[in-house]
Amino acid sequence: MTANEMTSTMAYLTRVLKMPTIARVWAELAEQARAGGWSHEDYLSAVLSRQVADREASGTAMRVAGAHFPHVKTLEDFNTDHQPSLRRDVLAHLASTAFVAKAENVILLGPPGVGKTHLAIGLGIKAVQAGYPVLFDTATNWVARLTAAHNTGTLDRELKRLRRYRLLIIDEVGYIPFDHDAANLFFQLVASRYEQGSIMVTSNLPFGRWGETFSDDIVAAAMIDRLVHHAEVITLAGDSYRTRSRRELLAANTAK
């Protein structure tokens, strides 16, 4: 085969196989292989590895977009010095995403500004990078979504559809109280995922006050029971990171 024939053959084959990375790298890697005296097997594996790496990266990018995070926050950007009570080994274990594989839950409790949403997004991104589909929304939006499904008689279908997400993140439970119907829908969501798929919840309220938010102590207790049966419960404490950074800035400026 001439070099031109080879190029057009490879263009055709990689198009049929939907492997555009190989189309881009095969010739250059062949040069390297000849120069480096690679075996045929080494060359083949190098070419395929590049394709797989690109496919995984674009899969991750698609899942990040599909997760609807409100913004990108990483665990690496989370300053654990500000949360001395947060156990590093627990955080490292959660970052390994083993809890998603086991359909376990994570509950992040604490006052406003202590980094609950930041941690939820950071852990969600870890799960996405590990290949799991994740979906993030606020508790209010989750209830709106479930109410809409309920009103059109498609709640079961919606709950089933949500099961293809291995991790659902429910942010800000407790900021806005739910009426009885909303609380029941929320309960159904939790019940439908019990031991099937992970849920991560953030809340500014301790469990003892969830009855207020769900306007029903019994529904709240039943929900907490299922949520925490297989769960890591993390309580963050301290001042708001926002106001602390502001205070530190002010202090630094007045010191000058």
Q: Give the CA distances from residue 32 to residues 36, 133, 214, in Å, rounded to whole numbers and listed in that order.
A: 6, 37, 64
Q: What phi-psi label fits residue 238: left (phi over 0), alpha (psi between -120 and 50 degrees) or beta? A: left
For ligand ADP (CB under 6 A), the number of binding residues is: 17
Q: Does 36 bind ligand ADP (CB under 6 A)?
A: no
Restricting to residues 188-217, name those near ligand ADP by CB under 6 A: 202
Smallest CA-to-CA distance from 80 within 109, 107, 118, 110 is with 118
Asked if 124 interacts with ligand ADP (CB under 6 A), we say no
* Interatomic CA distance for residues 127 and 137, integer angstroms: 16
Shortest distance in whole angstroms from residue 252 CB to ligand ADP: 17
- Least distance (Å) between residue 140 CB and ligand ADP: 14
What tokens appear for 217 in the block? 């102590």
Our finding on whether 79 is near ligand ADP (CB under 6 A) is yes
**How crowded is residue 233: how many other Cβ atoms within 10 Å of its Cβ?**
14
Kindly tell me which residue out of 50, 51, 75, 78 binds ligand ADP, with binding defined by CB under 6 A. Answer: 78
Q: How far is the CB of 106 from Mg ion (least distance, A)?
A: 14
Q: Where are the alpha helices (DSSP H) in 37-114?
A: 40-67, 88-95, 98-101
Q: Write down the least CB distance from residue 119 to ligand ADP, Å.
A: 7
| Minimum distance of ligand ADP from residue 227's CB (angstroms) | 18
Is the CB of 135 or the CB of 185 nearer to ligand ADP? 135
Distance, CA of 247 to chain centre? 31
- Asked if 150 interacts with ligand ADP (CB under 6 A), we say no
Which residues of the shown chain bind ligand ADP in the complex (CB under 6 A)?
A: 73, 77-79, 82-83, 110, 112-118, 202, 241-242
